[in-house]
Amino acid sequence: MENMRKAVRQIAYSHTLSSLPLLHLSLLPLLSFASSLYSIALSLRHHLYNLKILTKHRLPVPVISVGNLTWGGNGKTPMVEFLARLLIDSGVSPLILTRGYGGADEAKMLRRHLQGTCAKIGIGVNRAATALSFLEKYGYVNFHDIRCSKRIFSEEKEKNLSNSDQIGAAILDDGMQVQEKDIKALESSVQKVKESVPIFLTEMAPLHFFKPGDVSFKIPLEAVKNKILLCISGIGFADSFIQRIDKMGPRYLDRLDFSDHHLFRMKDINIVRTRIQTLESKFAAKPIVVATEKDYDRSPRILQLLEPYEVLVVCCRLQILPHDEITENCFEKIMMELFRRDEHGDC
């Protein structure tokens, strides 16, 4: 099953079918058929909503849905954190709603990063029901009243509600489901729908490392420079993770990729240990194992079984890149303008 997942992942991220092995090519008819069934099911689902056979749920607070146009590993959860911090800094208490797949690794990471803030995290497949339970427990701030009282979106960005338990907005983590050379093509496709829509580019910026079991002690990124590294990951698109680590200047970088949301077990630790020993023999130096935060949060204790080899977990945060005179301040301004809108008119 693991080999099948790897094959599907390689097909998904391949730029040219001619470069794929024969085994991978043999899977294309099956994948095409499965894709057609999924498309039909999705279309039927939309029709059922249009016919009101399936009911929509509207929350009494604004909802931001964060998704991606490709498979996992493209920064959905870091964007959720970015938006949550933006709301918190503006005095809005956000409720983050996540399905909790793969051992709820995203939720664990968000809880750690947003600890001590007014953000709340709800886990459950039925996110409408989860949201309602949180709204009943904590209450919510009517956004129309907020605007009228000017308690939040003043020019001074007063934060008198930053410690409030009342929920002011909801964020859907993975509410929907690029390569750099594809960005221009993607921009063009979006602008065909609406030419004036602003497009923002982001990247995951590494902040520091920490060791399993001691998340509070921050290790500088320079710790891996000129070192022998083995990167292990169970995320949707590991290449971006590898590229970030490679920019830190290791002497040699090896990798072991597992399927998305992979739960590491003892057999995996044995595979990793065997690869480490091979690298140690080849370079006459002890390699360092580097893992992603999501992999740590999914399997925090088992990574410690790699002792005496050192394991480092890289901590990253999303940042918006300046692009065609569009900056992070532009993003914040647009988000705040969207929250200011009131379909009932001015106060």
> Between 101-113 and 76-89, two packed helices, what is the crossing angle to 10 degrees?
30
> Between 2-12 and 28-50, two packed helices, what is the crossing angle to 10 degrees?
80
CA dihedral 265, 221, 82, 13 (to 10 degrees): -60
The domain segmentation of the chain, as residue ranges, is 2-55, 63-179+323-340, 201-320
100 pLDDT tier (thresholds 50, 70, 90): confident
- What is the CB neighbour count within 10 angstroms for residue 63? 16
Q: Residue 172 pLDDT > 80, yes or no?
A: yes
- What is the CB neighbour count within 10 angstroms for residue 113? 17
Question: Which pLDDT belongs to residue 228?
Answer: 97
- Of the CA atoms within 13 Å of residue 245, those in its CB half-sphere come to 30
Q: Residue 245 pLDDT > 90, yes or no?
A: yes
Nearest to 303 by CA among 256, 244, 236, 254: 256
Nearest to 257 by CA among 3, 1, 45: 3
As a residue count, the chain comes to 347
Q: Chain-wide mean pLDDT for the chain? A: 81
Between 161 and 241, the higher pLDDT residue: 241
**Tens-digit pLDDT profile for residues 214-239:** 888 999 999 999 999 999 998 877 88
**Tens-digit pLDDT profile for residues 26-48:** 888 888 888 889 889 988 988 88
Looking at residues 244-258, what average pLDDT do you find? 95
Phi-psi map region of 301: left, alpha, beta (phi>0 left; psi -120 to 50 alpha): alpha
**Tens-digit pLDDT profile for residues 104-163:** 778 888 998 999 899 999 998 888 889 989 998 989 886 555 444 444 434 444 444 444
Between 106 and 2, the higher pLDDT residue: 106
Question: Which pLDDT belongs to residue 95?
Answer: 94
Question: Which pLDDT belongs to residue 338?
Answer: 77
pTM listed for this prediction? 0.71
**Tens-digit pLDDT profile for residues 278-324:** 999 999 999 999 999 989 988 888 888 998 999 999 999 888 888 77
Topology of the domain covering 201-320: Rossmann fold (3.40.50)
